[in-house]
Chains A and B, each alone.
Chain A
Amino acid sequence: MLLQGIVSGLLAGGVYAMIALGMALIFGVMRVINVAHGTLLMLGGYTTYWLFALYGLNPFLSLMISFPLLFLVGALLQKYLVSHVVGAPELSSLILTFGLSIFINNMAMLSWTSDYRSVEFLTGSFLLGPIAISKPRLVTFSFALLITLAAFLFLIKTKTGKAIRATSQHRELAQVCGINVKRIDCITFALASGLAGVGGSLVSIMFSIFPEMGRGYVFKSFLVIVLGGAGNYPGALLGGLILGVVEGLTSLLLSAQLSEVIAYVLLVLLLLLRPTGLLKGRT
């Protein structure tokens, strides 16, 4: 029973980690909390839905489309809107991305109505000893884990990835070393949007799709960042898995309604007791 909660929590946590990694990158590089992260996720979800509903495209193949599509959207958003508030007081960037998310959500509701839709592709579950494992969750978890690892490889091995990490460690020094910080901002935001888009595609395989579907993920991603330590990217993976397990256990032992409340209490306690996160990060 307990094991069941932990396993299904871990499976959900992998997806959280991938979504949160995008938000953590933006926060690390630009010190901007992207409140529109959930909105980008929603756009990814609808991409998958429409490709599936209109052309019957395999939802897992649609990742190949939702990533570049959201990558492009992110680059445009950064270039024309968000770049103006990088370095400005937090109030500006928080409110700007908040306004963006409201606007895009509203447009989504107007174009696609607020009906709940779903992609019925992979359903059912199988038994592994005493534990039931849902098939869509296992597959999305594997995809999320692979993509997260790919993103880490990109950050560690490639020149651009190193430049992103350098910028997030010290913006001015990175600039002095000849890194085009504006370009890095753009790539980071685009990459993060792409991750959110893929997250949306994966989420849409498990849950319903509607314009407000991303809202909860803003808070979850933020909690993951705090858990792992701000600016600590591997921490995001750990934070995601922990959040998943906590939620899994709460909905199993108490009530699914309260899982958000428990997550909130967790955040407040964590901020009080260990503001640098479980792995060491910056405040």
Chain B
Amino acid sequence: MKRLALAMALVILAGLSIMPFFASNYTVTFTFQIFMWIALAQSWNLISGLTGYVSFGHVAFFGTGAYTAAILIVKAGWHWFPAGLMGSVTAVSLALIIGYPCLRLKGPYFAISMLALNEVVRALVSYFDSLTGGGSGITLPPSSSLWPLYYAMGGVALTGALISYWVLTSRFGLRLISIRENELAAEAMGINTSALKLYAFLISAALPGIVGGFYARYVTHIEPLGTFPLLTTITMIVMCLFGGKGTIFGPILGATLLSIFQEMVWSRFLFLHEGIFGAIIVFVILLMPRGILGVLQQRYRLPRTV
């Protein structure tokens, strides 16, 4: 069983890695976006799916990464790849500043402070307009080819999956899950919950930072409103919940399925986009709290963390 799963994963990886050579430009772009969502959903899962501390402002890290990369590319003349990686450095620094105080308290405090974080970062970005271009944003030089970005984003998604695998199969992950199940009991067992939550939060902020950095290169123009949309956070949450929160493959499954649905159906109902997501959230929480994978786990007796 395990070998079969590994073989399948390798085949899919091999297929994806040679895909740009024969697939159309449209398919490559679409897959690039799926990679992006997989990485983002994974990152949300690492903090919220595992510890139960809901982050309503993960897009703040995405946006921070995007602005870091854009500023480094345009103002400092960096190559886009190291600039994108630097996005994670600023995102993690932001997470450290926010997470240190907010994660010491129980769930709701963290959730609401994250909801506001997004608005705050956006306000700061607009305020320091000499660096960020204010409301009109930053325009990057046009990029020549999508290929390098495709592989870079694929690498980020793969890294996200590997980190998830490592976290969920390690003691670290078990301790995080114990925080979700009962934080007080976990503390009584001698688990340093404040430190572990913070580590998980930092890891989960690093991925969106890089994704944001590469995304800035992809869209070549960023401005405050388009870079910090609440919809991005919503999408991460929906994908993760839909696939199954707190699992390795849940976010991947959710991101892939919902991206495909979205492309096929919802692009025709553009204005209903957020509403449908809201309805899915309510539906999943009330009727399918553990997502698709949760249903499959119950039916086929799979391990809980897969």
Residue numbers of A with Cβ under 8 A of B are: 27, 33, 35, 81, 84-85, 89-92, 94-96, 98-107, 109-110, 216, 218-219, 222, 226, 255, 257-258, 260-261, 263-264, 267-269, 271-272, 275, 283
Which of the residues A102, A103, A258, A272 comes within 8 Å of B127, measured between beta carbons?
A258
In angstroms, Cα B159 to Cα A85, docked, is 34
Q: B20 at interface (Cβ–Cβ under 8 A)?
A: no
Closest to B279 in A: A103
Taking A95-B241, A110-B272, A271-B101 as contacts, is the C-beta distance between A89 and B281 under 8 angstroms?
no
Q: B126 at interface (Cβ–Cβ under 8 A)?
A: yes
Whether the Cβ atoms of B112 and A260 lie closer than 8 Å is: no
In angstroms, Cα B124 to Cα A43, docked, is 30
Whether the Cβ atoms of B109 and A271 lie closer than 8 Å is: yes
Whether the Cβ atoms of A105 and B274 lie closer than 8 Å is: yes
Closest beta carbon of chain A to B281's beta carbon, Å: 3
Whether the Cβ atoms of B112 and A222 lie closer than 8 Å is: yes
In angstroms, Cα B281 to Cα A35, docked, is 13
Extra 4 A-B pairs, beta carbons < 8 Å, given A257-B127, A261-B124: A84-B286, A90-B54, A106-B271, A110-B272
Q: B248 at interface (Cβ–Cβ under 8 A)?
A: no
Whether the Cβ atoms of A91 and B54 lie closer than 8 Å is: yes
14 contacts between A and B (CB under 8 A): A35-B56, A89-B107, A95-B285, A96-B281, A99-B281, A102-B234, A104-B278, A106-B272, A106-B275, A257-B123, A267-B113, A268-B101, A269-B101, A271-B109
Which residue among B109, B117, B124 has the maximum number of chain A CB atoms within 10 Å of its CB? B109
Whether the Cβ atoms of A100 and B278 lie closer than 8 Å is: yes
Whether the Cβ atoms of A264 and B116 lie closer than 8 Å is: yes
Which residue among A94, A218, A283 has the maximum number of chain B CB atoms within 10 Å of its CB? A94
Closest beta carbon of chain B to A274's beta carbon, Å: 12
In angstroms, Cα B110 to Cα A267, docked, is 11
Taking A219-B112, A260-B123, A264-B116 as contacts, is the C-beta distance between A92 and B289 under 8 angstroms?
yes
In angstroms, Cα B274 to Cα A81, docked, is 19
CB-CB under 8 A from B221, the residues of chain A are none
Whether the Cβ atoms of B279 and A216 lie closer than 8 Å is: no
CB-CB under 8 A from B274, the residues of chain A are 102-103, 105-106
CB-CB under 8 A from A216, the residues of chain B are 119
Closest beta carbon of chain A to B91's beta carbon, Å: 18
Taking A89-B180, A90-B54, A271-B104 as contacts, is the C-beta distance between A103 and B111 under 8 angstroms?
no
In angstroms, Cα B286 to Cα A81, docked, is 8
The total of chain B residues at the interface (CB under 8 A) is 43
CB-CB under 8 A from B107, the residues of chain A are 89-91, 94
Whether the Cβ atoms of B105 and A99 lie closer than 8 Å is: no
In angstroms, Cα B54 to Cα A51, docked, is 38
- Give chain B interface residues in 216-252, CB to chain A under 8 Å: 234, 237, 241
CB-CB under 8 A from A272, the residues of chain B are 101, 104
Taking A103-B275, A106-B274 as contacts, is the C-beta distance between A94 and B111 under 8 angstroms?
yes
Closest beta carbon of chain A to B229's beta carbon, Å: 12
Taking A94-B108, A268-B102 as contacts, is the C-beta distance between A258 and B123 under 8 angstroms?
yes
Closest beta carbon of chain A to B200's beta carbon, Å: 14
6 closest A-B pairs by beta carbon, nearest first, are: A99-B281, A103-B278, A106-B275, A102-B278, A90-B107, A219-B116
Closest to A103 in B: B278
Closest to A259 in B: B123
Whether the Cβ atoms of A35 and B278 lie closer than 8 Å is: no
- Give chain B interface residues in 98-147, CB to chain A under 8 Å: 98, 101-102, 104-109, 111-113, 115-117, 119-120, 123-124, 126-127
Q: B282 at interface (Cβ–Cβ under 8 A)?
A: yes
Closest to A113 in B: B271
Q: B165 at interface (Cβ–Cβ under 8 A)?
A: no
CB-CB under 8 A from B204, the residues of chain A are none
Q: B42 at interface (Cβ–Cβ under 8 A)?
A: no
Closest beta carbon of chain B to A102's beta carbon, Å: 3
Whether the Cβ atoms of B271 and A96 lie closer than 8 Å is: no
Closest beta carbon of chain B to A230's beta carbon, Å: 9
Whether the Cβ atoms of B282 and A81 lie closer than 8 Å is: yes
CB-CB under 8 A from B273, the residues of chain A are 106
Q: B48 at interface (Cβ–Cβ under 8 A)?
A: yes
